[in-house]
Structure 1
Amino acid sequence: MKSSSPVAERQGDIDANWLHRLRVALRRWHVGNGRDLPWRNCRDPYKVWISEIMLQQTTVAAVKPYFERFLKRFPNIAALAAADEADVLRLWEGLGYYSRARNLRKGAQAIVANGGVFPDSVEELLPLPGIGRYTAGAIVSFAFDRPAPILEANTLRLYCRLLGFRDDPRSAAGQRVLWSFAEQLVPTKSPGEFNQALMDLGATVCTPTEPHCDECPVASYCRALAEQAQSKIPAAKRRPEITETREAYVAIESAGRFLIYRRPEGQRWAGLWDFPRFELDVSATKFERKTRSHLEGRIATDFGPRVSITERLAQFKHSVTRFRITLDCWLAETNEHNDLTTTHPTEWVAPSEFANFPFSTTGRQLAELLVRGGCVSHPTDTRRVGHVTRSVRRSSTTRPKS
């Protein structure tokens, strides 16, 4: 009886001969078409680990300079384990998803505490913070050249098209099908090089839109191509509904220094330093006087000192997951810098010292506005507020990265 499932049909076609021919075709293509990346041809598991964590939800182009700077500062696992969290976050600043950086440091400390020998199996790697099945498989195959299946964005798309898999590949059932296929694909000979070839093919040929099927070395094995369904496979990811929100930064100044605090666990950008930031009622922001009064009250409640908001400096627009945020930046003054009541770690910092602290992208952008506004040159000058305001009014709305 003919199976009613195209995937079952395809998996029934997969035998040792099919796998051998596909592997040969892919390896032959990869010799002249593999990507030249800084972390390639490297068997150091520490470097492979760093690269794989950085590449999670981040483009190769964005990762390259961060990878090189990170290794220069933390060349080995002992150096990373001994580092202050703030130093690690400062080097990560701008790359986003900061829990990755904190987990790298925690993972390094766990490895050092267990003798400093990098785990060489998927089973030993999985308990480390921030390491899932894909990352563990990538480290094992790339660094130790041991067979381990991989499944990430590029290979997910490639596998779906090879199999003609039309269901949701991110569902539990879809993941079972694709991981099973990945286990069949990976060879015992040079599995690291083969896994890299799979990823390179997905990244450069089997692309999300308009795949280059005429250039694909495994086109004859592709069920999606045979069915002319490349544009429909894999099934599109459901996009979350966008929520518009309004927030406010307040740069509180006292004697030429600004109040910053370290964001606690459970908040966005935990562990980074930031200016006081508050959610606003979108409807209430139409009335500036009401907004100022609300922010002055929140600062007194959440941080302690009574402040006077003097100017709106700028407006940023950025996105975090499903939230599209309009962020107003305000300048405030206080003489009560010793009256802090918050339990969060806080500092009064001169603009010339901002570079010593890790900020979120928007926090760094506000810090740079304050520096460019004349705070460094005139830290106690009463003209400073005018310098800041005139500087930012020339370009008051920007769109930073989240």
Structure 2
Amino acid sequence: MSSVQTVLLEWFRQHQRKLPWRGVTDPYKVLLSEVLLQQTRVEQTIPYYERFLARFPSLEALSRADQEDVLKVWQGCGYYARARNLHRLAQQVVAAGGVFPRTSSALRALPGIGPYTAAALASIAFGEPVAAVDGNVRRVLSRWYAWEKPTAGQIQQAAEALMAGLAQSQGPSPGDWNQALMELGATVCLPKNPACGRCPVARFCLGQAAPERYPGAKERKQRRLELTALVLQGPGGVYLEQRQGPILGGLWGVPMEEGPGALARLLVRFGLERAERLGSLRHEFTHRKLHIEVYRAPWVAGENPASRPLSRLDQKILALVEANLSSQHSPAG
């Protein structure tokens, strides 16, 4: 085993964070933690992980659930396609006998499982010597080798070479090695202000003289969307409808239209003549920047939004409505 591996693994054994999924090899729990950790910080992941397992303690329990129940438990975590895919995966695996595939290549055939998740799950749960490359690993390896603009293939090849050296030693588990690399990136080799002074493998790092140079920042392109939301309020609450599409599909929300003439289309759709403008708000997804004009009109029916899984976007819209109502009812002076 190379010296860098020996040193990093020893550091990991002594300094790894105490997380509820650490040391767990149950593939369902490993998968849940990995899916949650995509796009979500660790401190935010822990309560969602514990809440999800309390409601769906096994793959079988998840497979039997209604999608709406799954989305309700997931509510607030964002990236709802992850929850829908996890639900589909549970149904597919249980229908096939309830046993997970044990290799990363076979795992990739399951819904929502990409190269990273498949490698992480296979290495941690089943001990397959396969390299798992996430953003933390990409940053660590870019700095080790002083690569400013590495290709995905270049990073993957370097990670696989390190894993191959580990496998030849027949020593520590592949899952520990993958987690050690990720832990280094998450706690020491940070994107900004990396703690090089307490890095256990700093002497092996070619980029330590200017670590923030590696890797170069990726350009983030966001599509701007102009939307109009119509909040229909009735005696029972707010009218909601189930959303479709890849981003918020399966969740519930207020009627919404995109582009010029959106309000007119909404009014025609619900047989209304006018609506009151309440204000505007902004909301961002990874590749979309939304500007939403919010209107309100009376409605004869509705429901309590708390009974449905809502996205943060719709929660923000309803919060704007509540703020408007509160200001109207506040005593003057």
How far does residue 93 in structure 1 lie from its aligned partner after superposition?
1.4
Tell me if 1:297 matches 2:250. Answer: no
Matched with 1:111 is 93
Match of 2:121 among 139, 143, 159: 139
Distance change in 2, residues 1:309/1:183 (3 Å): farther
How far does residue 387 in structure 1 lie from its aligned partner after superposition?
4.4
CA distance in 1, matches of 2:223, 2:103: 42
Alignment deviations for residues 32-78 of structure 1 (CA, whole Å, 9 cap, x no partner)? 21111111111111000000001111111111111110000000000
Matched with 1:349 is 302
Alignment TM-score, normalising by the size of structure 2: 0.89
Distance change in 2, residues 1:65/1:276 (3 Å): same
Matched with 1:339 is none
Among all aligned residue pairs of Structure 1 and Structure 2, give the percentage whose two residues are the same amino acid.
35
How far does residue 316 in structure 1 lie from its aligned partner after superposition?
2.1
Match of 2:154 among 171, 174, 179: 174
Q: Is the 8 A contact 1:249 1:278 kept in 2?
A: yes
How far does residue 184 in structure 1 lie from its aligned partner after superposition?
3.1
Tell me if 1:390 matches 2:331. Answer: no
Matched with 1:30 is 12
CA distance in 1, matches of 2:107, 2:67: 22
Q: Which runs of 5+ in 2 are unaligned?
A: none
Q: Is the 8 A contact 1:311 1:389 kept in 2?
A: no
Match of 1:43 among 25, 30, 33: 25
Q: Is the 8 A contact 1:148 1:186 kept in 2?
A: no
CA distance in 2, matches of 1:230, 1:252: 53
CA distance in 2, matches of 1:387, 1:235: 47
Q: Is the 8 A contact 2:224 2:290 kept in 1?
A: yes
**Structure with higher RCO (Cα < 8 A, 6+ apart):** 2
Q: After the TM superposition, which residues 206-225 of structure 1 pair with which residues of structure 2 at under 5 Å, given as runs?
A: 206-225=189-208
CA distance in 1, matches of 2:286, 2:63: 30
2:292 aligned partner, one-letter code: L
Distance change in 2, residues 1:134/1:296 (3 Å): closer
Alignment deviations for residues 237-284 of structure 1 (CA, whole Å, 9 cap, x no partner)? 1222x5544322111234544321111234x31111111012244xxx
Moved more, 306-315 or 142-151: 306-315
SS of residue matched to 2:258:
strand
Distance change in 2, residues 1:81/1:391 (3 Å): farther
Tell me if 1:54 matches 2:36. Answer: yes
Tell me if 1:317 matches 2:270. Answer: no
SS of residue matched to 2:278:
strand
Q: Is the 8 A contact 1:264 1:271 kept in 2?
A: yes
1:349 aligned partner, one-letter code: G
Q: Is the 8 A contact 2:2 2:165 kept in 1?
A: no
1:311 aligned partner, one-letter code: E
Q: Is the 8 A contact 2:137 2:185 kept in 1?
A: yes
2:227 aligned partner, one-letter code: E
Q: Which runs of 5+ in 1 are unaligned?
A: 1-18, 282-293, 336-347, 374-385, 395-402
How far does residue 391 in structure 1 lie from its aligned partner after superposition?
6.0
Alignment deviations for residues 166-190 of structure 1 (CA, whole Å, 9 cap, x no partner)? 32334xx435434433543544432
Number of matched residues?
328
Tell me if 1:260 matches 2:227. Answer: no
Q: Is the 8 A contact 1:318 1:326 kept in 2?
A: yes
SS of residue matched to 2:283:
strand
Structural RMSD (CA)? 2.5
